[in-house]
Amino acid sequence: ITMFEILSSNIWSLLAMFALVYWRFPAVRPAAAIVLPILFVMMGWLVMQSPRDGHFPPTYKTVWLFIHVGLGKVFLGAVLISVGLGGVVLARASERGAAWFARLPGDRALDELAYRFLALGLIFETLMLVAGAIWAQDAWGRYWAWDPLETWAFLTWLMLVFSLHLRFTLKPAPRVGALLAMGVFCLAFLTFFGVP
């Protein structure tokens, strides 16, 4: 309800998802060099927020809210992992990054893995939008009203679809794929934390 609660919940869920993927998929481990600083910045932002009580409206007392938010957390976690992998690809362009990440799989392999996590993110964002529409129908009597949060969530979905379509049809260089993943994450981050 408050920014303190939103940040706290998202930091824990993103860290839990990354830890699970880190444990199960060794190829993802280099992404920690990018993912963990992002999470530390979010933790710094959390510390600056006031942990005051928030008002819990009656429209939030539904199971669809929890389904909607849970799906959104998985979506953001999948995109964050894709950004971490893309960040490794981009970091290799520098002299220091090339030395740090020299023993890792090639850029194409990391790009393919990042693509898979973006595809997973598309599935969960689509489900998140559907669950949000069902929740909105129960809470306010309408599925969609083009309010700012709904509009930005849809724009994020469009950017994600565009990125995946571009990667599938044109097969751009891994650096372009990394930039597309970062664009999706930035838009999703603004939607999650800027619009509310």
Name which of 25-34, 47-56, 182-191 the model is least confident about. 47-56
DSSP 60: G
DSSP 30: G
Confidence (pLDDT) at 119: 97
Confidence of residue 60 (pLDDT cuts 50, 70, 90): confident
The two tokens of residue 35 are 């993912």
Confidence (pLDDT) at 3: 85
Mean pLDDT of 9-22: 95
Q: In whole angstroms, what is the distance from residue 54 CA to residue 123 CA? A: 31
Confidence (pLDDT) at 194: 83
* pLDDT at residue 139 tops 80: yes
At which residue do the structure tokens 């950017």 appear?
159
Q: In whole angstroms, what is the distance from residue 11 CA to residue 3 CA? A: 12
Confidence (pLDDT) at 35: 95
At which residue do the structure tokens 């362009």 appear?
93
Confidence (pLDDT) at 6: 87
What predicted TM-score, i.e. pTM, was given to this entire model? 0.91
Q: Give the CA angle between residues 63, 3, 61 to the nearest 5°.
A: 20
Confidence (pLDDT) at 158: 97
Name which of 43-47, 59-63, 170-174 the model is least confident about. 59-63
Confidence (pLDDT) at 54: 74
CB atoms within 10 A of CB 109: 14
Q: Are 110 and 104 in contact (CB under 8 A)?
A: yes
DSSP 67: H
* pLDDT at residue 15 tops 90: yes
* pLDDT at residue 17 tops 80: yes
Confidence (pLDDT) at 89: 92
* pLDDT at residue 122 tops 80: yes
* pLDDT at residue 27 tops 80: yes
**Amino acid letter at 144?**
W
